[in-house]
Amino acid sequence: MKIAIIGAGAMGGALVEGFIKSDAYKAADICVSDPSQAVLEKFTAMGASVTEDNTQAIADAKVVMVVVKPWLVENVIKGIAPALSPMQNLVVVAAGVKSSDILSWLPEDGKEAKLFLAIPNIAAAEGCSMTFLVPCGATSSQDTKLITDVFNTVGNTLITDEKHLAAGTTLASCGIAYAMRYIRAASEGGVELGFKADDAKEIVMQTVLGAVKLLEASGLHPEAAIDLVTTPGGVTIKGLNEMEHAGFTSAVIRGLKAGAK
């Protein structure tokens, strides 16, 4: 199955890498369209098909992904609209772009388009994205399964509605940056505690990975898992309470809500 990806910047490039690494598709069946020669050379070396022509990229593609900055989506959609087939699935990855606008940029019969809005994150490159998927237009359950399966090759996918897409964006797409900010902060704390910078980062990354694996395996609520390591009067509860005095939980929630506005 051919997948065309228009725009291979940070997000589009992460998807291309993830699809190729997943072995779910032949590298040559991933067609990348991007104006940057450096980008095209990178993905040529990985075995993908490349072009600078968006219309050429989508020819015979079962799935067409538009992964560009929000303000570029209209021009890209209008440019490829005449070449889009009713048999193709159009997936737009761009925060804040409404399905109603996208459908209006298609020809008169645009409402018949099989359109999806999707918000993955850059962990797709390593098969660990959390992707939010919104079926729009004339999509069927079979279409939705197809696109869900595509994104599941690079992580986990949650079907949602358009009104929750902004929340999903800040929780998982922006959220990966928030998680990295914690890792940075904890690594800097590790340096203050006497570890070399690289060692501190490795310790924190492994600790975060361990926390995720434990929650996945146990199904515990995070607070229940925290109780397992908070000895009365111990150092863990003292550290947690000090973080809360500084507004840790409140800061995280406020940051998420700010990102959703």
Instruction: Name the residue with tokens 């694996």.
Output: 213
Within this chain, do residues 81 and 193 fall inside the same structural domain, yes or no? no
Average pLDDT, the chain: 95
Residues facing 5 on adjacent strands: 32, 65
Q: What is the pLDDT of residue 60?
A: 93
Within this chain, do residues 59 and 180 fall inside the same structural domain, yes or no? no
Q: Is residue 212 part of a domain?
A: yes
Within this chain, do residues 88 and 142 fall inside the same structural domain, yes or no? yes
> Cα(200)–Cα(192) distance, rounded to whole angstroms?
10
Within this chain, do residues 24 and 116 fall inside the same structural domain, yes or no? yes
Q: Say if residues 70 and 93 touch (Cβ distance below 8 Å).
A: no
Q: 204: domain CATH number?
A: 1.10.3730.10
Residue 163: C-alpha distances to residues 39, 98, 132, 241, 259 (Å): 33, 10, 12, 35, 14
> Cα(185)–Cα(35) distance, rounded to whole angstroms?
37
Q: What is the pLDDT of residue 110?
A: 59
Q: What is the pLDDT of residue 18?
A: 98
Q: Identify the burial level of 155 via C-beta atoms within 10 angstroms of its C-beta, where 0-12 means exposed, 13-18 middle and 19 or more buried.
A: buried
Q: What is the pLDDT of residue 147?
A: 98
Give the tens place of pLDDT for each residue, 153-207.
Answer: 999 999 999 999 999 999 999 999 999 999 999 999 999 999 999 999 999 999 9
CA 8 to chain centre: 13
Within this chain, do residues 214 and 248 fall inside the same structural domain, yes or no? yes
Within this chain, do residues 83 and 126 fall inside the same structural domain, yes or no? yes
Within this chain, do residues 229 and 131 fall inside the same structural domain, yes or no? no
Q: What is the pLDDT of residue 103?
A: 92
Q: Is residue 248 part of a domain?
A: yes
Q: What is the pLDDT of residue 111?
A: 58
Within this chain, do residues 247 and 125 fall inside the same structural domain, yes or no? no
Determine if residue 31 is left, alpha or beta; phi over 0 gives left, psi from -120 to 50 gives alpha, anything else beta.
Answer: beta
Q: Is residue 151 part of a domain?
A: yes
> Cα(54)–Cα(91) distance, rounded to whole angstroms?
14
Question: Which residues span the domain enclosing 212?
Answer: 175-259
Within this chain, do residues 48 and 142 fall inside the same structural domain, yes or no? yes
User: Could you say which residues of the chain have pLDDT below 70?
Assistant: 109-112
Q: 26: domain CATH number?
A: 3.40.50.720
Q: What is the pLDDT of residue 4?
A: 98
Angle between helices 248-259 and 235-245 (to 10 degrees): 50
